[in-house]
């Protein structure tokens, strides 16, 4: 059995997932970089390997049950456990102007397929492996846009941002986080939701104030929590957000 911690990051071929993989590997972990596309995944992993980091490409489409179970089977066979799961893969299918009264049902379904159903399916498949870890950590990438309190507050920076499919998918991620943390409260596994901030990626756009190094901070913080750390929370950096 590997003495290094084993981490799986979904959607690791670019953006926050790629940078999270780099930072976890620099912290000494073996990082399995999930990507739904082999070419993009290997292209992302190769430069990190050249840096001397222990990262490996892992084919993983979070909407494809067969690919999820193949990944879990491979991790079980090669490592016998999983220490960190970062559920990072995400989409904003119809952009930021898809309002609740008009957003297409296809967009709602496609968004939930990745951001929520995919996240639940990956987590359930990896749970038996996480239970074999001495200190399992699950990090669910959510958003301030999943916060009901922020949407209701006229002074919030996101008040009136009505991209409902994305917002609702992340609110669902928050609920899953709280419920799973409760279910696992007697175990060594901690489950938390991460808001990375507004980050310059393909999703965040060029106008975002944070670079990916800053954007990966919350995921890495929650992935490396000590035994005394929180579970069932919603964080940006180490500050708890309003639900």
Site residues (vs ligand NAP, CB under 6 A):
10-11, 13-17, 36-37, 40, 60-63, 88-91, 114, 118, 141, 143, 195-196, 198-199, 201-204, 208
- Cα(30)–Cα(45) distance, integer angstroms: 12
Please give the DSSP secondary-structure letter assigned to residue 109.
H
The structure tokens listed for 137 are: 């950590």
Q: Which is nearer to ligand NAP, 63 or 187 (CB)?
A: 63
221 included as an active-site residue: no
Min CB(201)–ligand NAP separation in Å: 3
> Interhelix angle for 164-183 vs 119-130, to 10°?
20
Q: Which is nearer to ligand NAP, 28 or 47 (CB)?
A: 47
Radius of gyration of the CA atoms of the chain, in A: 17
The structure tokens listed for 53 are: 């980091």
Query: Taking a C-beta distance cutoff of 8 angstroms, is the pair 59, 124 a contact?
Result: no
Q: Which is nearer to ligand NAP, 139 or 181 (CB)?
A: 139
List all residues 6 or more positions away from 163 whose beta carbon is below 8 Å from its beta carbon: 92, 94, 95, 96, 97, 98, 99, 103, 145
The catalytic residue among 57, 112, 166, 235 is: 166
Min CB(188)–ligand NAP separation in Å: 25
List all residues 6 or more positions away from 14 whose beta carbon is below 8 Å from its beta carbon: 40, 44, 201, 202
Q: Which is nearer to ligand NAP, 6 or 62 (CB)?
A: 62
> Which SS3 state, helix, strand or coil, does residue 208 take?
coil
Angle made by CA atoms 89, 95, 100, in degrees to the nearest 5 = 105
Please give the DSSP secondary-structure letter assigned to residue 155.
T
Q: Which is nearer to ligand NAP, 7 or 199 (CB)?
A: 199
Min CB(169)–ligand NAP separation in Å: 8
Active-site positions read 166
């Amino acid at each position: 059995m590997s003495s290094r911690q084993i981490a799986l990051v979904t959607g690791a071929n670019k953006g926050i997932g790629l940078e999270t993989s780099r930072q976890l590997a620099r912290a000494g972990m073996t990082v399995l970089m999930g990507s739904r596309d082999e070419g993009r995944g290997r292209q992302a992993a190769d430069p990190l390997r050249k840096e001397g980091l222990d990262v490996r490409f892992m084919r993983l489409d979070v909407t494809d049950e067969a690919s999820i179970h193949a990944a879990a089977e491979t991790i079980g066979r090669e490592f016998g456990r999983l220490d960190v799961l970062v559920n990072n893969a995400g989409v904003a299918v119809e952009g930021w102007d898809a309002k609740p009264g008009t957003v297409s049902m296809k967009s709602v379904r496609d968004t939930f397929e990745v951001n929520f159903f995919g996240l639940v399916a990956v987590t359930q498949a990896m749970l038996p492996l996480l239970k074999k870890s001495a200190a399992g950590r699950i990090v669910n990438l959510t958003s301030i846009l999943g916060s009901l309190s922020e949407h209701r507050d006229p002074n919030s920076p996101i008040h009136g941002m009505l991209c409902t499919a994305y917002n609702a998918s992340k609110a669902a991620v928050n609920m899953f986080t709280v419920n799973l943390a409760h279910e696992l409260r007697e175990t060594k596994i901690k489950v938390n939701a991460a808001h990375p901030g507004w980050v310059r990626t393909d999703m965040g756009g060029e106008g975002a104030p944070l670079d990916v190094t800053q954007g990966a901070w919350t995921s890495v913080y929650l992935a490396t929590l000590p035994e005394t750390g929180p579970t069932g929370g919603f964080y940006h950096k180490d500050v708890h957000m309003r639900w």
